[in-house]
Amino acid sequence: MTDATASGAAPQKPASGSLLELDARTKRRNAAEARFKFYGMAAVGIGLLFLVLLLVSIVRNGVPAYTQTFISLPVELQAEKLDKNGNRDPEEIKKVSTFGYNPLIDQALFRVLEENGVESPFEKGADLRKMVSASAAAEIRDYVIANPEKIGETVSFRVLASSRVDGYLKGRVTREDLARDKNLDAEHLDIIDQLKEAGAVARTFNWSFILGADASESRPEQAGIGVSMLGSLFMMLVVLLLSLPIGVAASIYLEEFAPKNVWTDLIEVNISNLAAVPSIVFGILGLAVFIQFMHLPQSAPLVGGLVLTLMTLPTIIISTRASLKSVPPSIRDAALGVGASKMQSVFHHVLPLAMPGILTGTIIGLAQALGETAPLLLIGMVGYIASNYPDGVASGFLDPNSAMPAQIYEWAKRADPAYYERAWGGIIILLLFLMTMNIIAVILRRRFERRW
């Protein structure tokens, strides 16, 4: 009121300047606008710069993890070492542990050096064997157990080179670095150079990084993200199967059926609050409720999925309610008008129209859950865990497993620098998954969402 009377009391002077000539005030306003545009562009530019930096560093650090160095070894499977009694009984062959295979590898190495005319300063097989991954013995043993008839023959294996040899071919390890390293010597690298020339050592694409299981600290060259990828898959199944029905049912009830009173208001506020709760809180809740109280198994994807369900529910409820709200009331009125029950109007008319929004919200929620690490720390999914492939669906849910982000975290803290590279490599896979999910969400929204 006072404003109106004030402006009425002092009428504005008619503008005295020319339209073509800007007065000082207009210039200032225009300058402010230009400045603001510049700030905006600078902000976007900085954001893009960080994104590019991030992607470049991820790709640069992570891509080497996808190739691995292999050494071709003709190994003579000596019968007197592997099957003393000569009856080719798998049970007896199994009694020879992986340590029993090391002499065969030493011999094969000496043979490769000899065949390629490589001079070696190493007399002892154990010194020479530093070039080969410790996984080689297990690989050969598994082969012999599966093919006992091959004992006595010479079989050619492509075994993994040790992480430092691999690092040398990738440019991560130099001769100077090895000066004080007891895991490998510069002389080994001379041998590797010559073997590479001869074709016995080669760096090729490494599928087992994508499909394989985790490995112990002493053999990063063998580690893969495959098993923890399965762990993530089973967790996401639990999240999807629980949070989608619960979340959608809760939001349909709250949005369409529930009376508007203090209680529903309170519930609404608390759902929004839950969405903002830090994920570690859900982790400790999961530990207390699912593991210590309900006695579900430790480190199991089922428990991880339950915890992440708690975390994803608010996201799904909020987005589902938003998309239910965006369906115009005329749809409901029309359905009710032709005699549909309330439930029929919701399930036959409102829900199908809201579906694209619900699915988008669900996918975004799942993507969030897929990248979550903090709650998994507390329920025991970090460590040397993702070492066995699940035997079936039940074992996939219940046997200890890790998840992709937890595996990446675990690799990043291991001592051998080769694991650091694998952590970056794992991040690439995780990002690809997240990007795919987000793209699907965007497509769903673009394709099917209706606007009124």
Partner 1 sequence: MSFMKLTASALAVAAVSASAAAARDNLQVAGSSTVLPYASIVAEAFGENFEFPTPVVESGGSSAGLKRFCEGVGENTIDIANASRAIREKEIKACAEAGVTDIIQVRIGYDGIVFASQLDGPAFTAFEPADLYNALAPKVVVDGELVDNPYTMWSEFNAELPEAEILAFIPGTKHGTREVFEEKVLAAGCETTGALEAMIASGMSEDDAEDACIAVRTDGKSVDIDGDYTETLASIDSNPNAIGVFGLAFYENNTDKLKVATMSGVEPETATIASGEYPVSRPLYFYIKKAHIGVIPGLKEFAQFFVADEIAGPDGPLSAYGLVSDPELADTQAMIENEETM
The answer to whether residue 98 forms part of the interface with partner 1 (CB under 8 A) is yes
Question: Residue 200 or residue 351: which is nearer to partner 1 going by CB?
Answer: 351
Shorter beta-carbon distance to partner 1: residue 198 or 284: 284
Counting contacts by CB under 8 A, is residue 288 touching partner 1?
no
Q: Is the distance from CB of 323 to CB of 331 less than 8 angstroms?
A: no
Structure tokens at 450: 């209706």
Q: Which of 182, 260, 447, 451 binds partner 1 (CB under 8 A)?
A: 182
Q: Which residue has the tokens 């050494």?
A: 71
Query: Which tokens belong to 248?
Result: 């959608």
* Structural contact between residues 403 and 229, judged by C-beta atoms closer than 8 angstroms: no
Helices within 170-220 (DSSP H only): 186-198, 207-211
From the list 37-45, 104-112, 171-179, 204-212, the region that binds partner 1 by CB under 8 A is 171-179
* Residues 347-386, mask of contacts with partner 1 (x by CB under 8 A): x--------------------------------x-xxxx-
Looking at 25, 295, 447, 451, which residue binds partner 1 (CB under 8 A)?
Answer: 295
Residue 215 found at the interface with partner 1 (CB under 8 A): yes
Cβ at position 266, least distance to partner 1 in Å? 25
The burial class, CB within 10 Å (0-12 / 13-18 / 19+), for 369 is buried
Query: Binding of partner 1 at residue 314 (CB under 8 A)?
Result: no
Choosing from 412, 431, 434, 440, the residue that interacts with partner 1 (CB under 8 A) is 412
From residue 13, give the alpha-carbon distance in Å to each of 4, 10, 236, 242, 344. 17, 9, 68, 68, 64
For residue 56, CA distances in Å to 44, 45, 62, 63 come to 18, 16, 10, 11
Query: Please, which of residues 239-278 interact with partner 1 by CB under 8 A?
Result: 241-242, 244-246, 248-249
Report which of 154, 90, 147, 102 is spatially closest to residue 128, judged by C-alpha positions. 102
The b-or-e profile of 193-216 (16+ CB within 10 A means b, else e) is: ebbbeeebbbeeebebbbebbbbe
Measured from the CB of residue 102, what is the shortest distance to partner 1 in angstroms?
10
Considering only residues 118, 210, 289, 296, which one is a binding residue for partner 1 as defined by CB under 8 A?
Answer: 296
Binding positions for partner 1, rule: CB under 8 A = 97-99, 126, 134, 138, 141-142, 173, 176-177, 179-183, 215-219, 238, 241-242, 244-246, 248-249, 291-292, 294-300, 302, 347, 380, 382-385, 387-388, 394, 397-400, 412-417
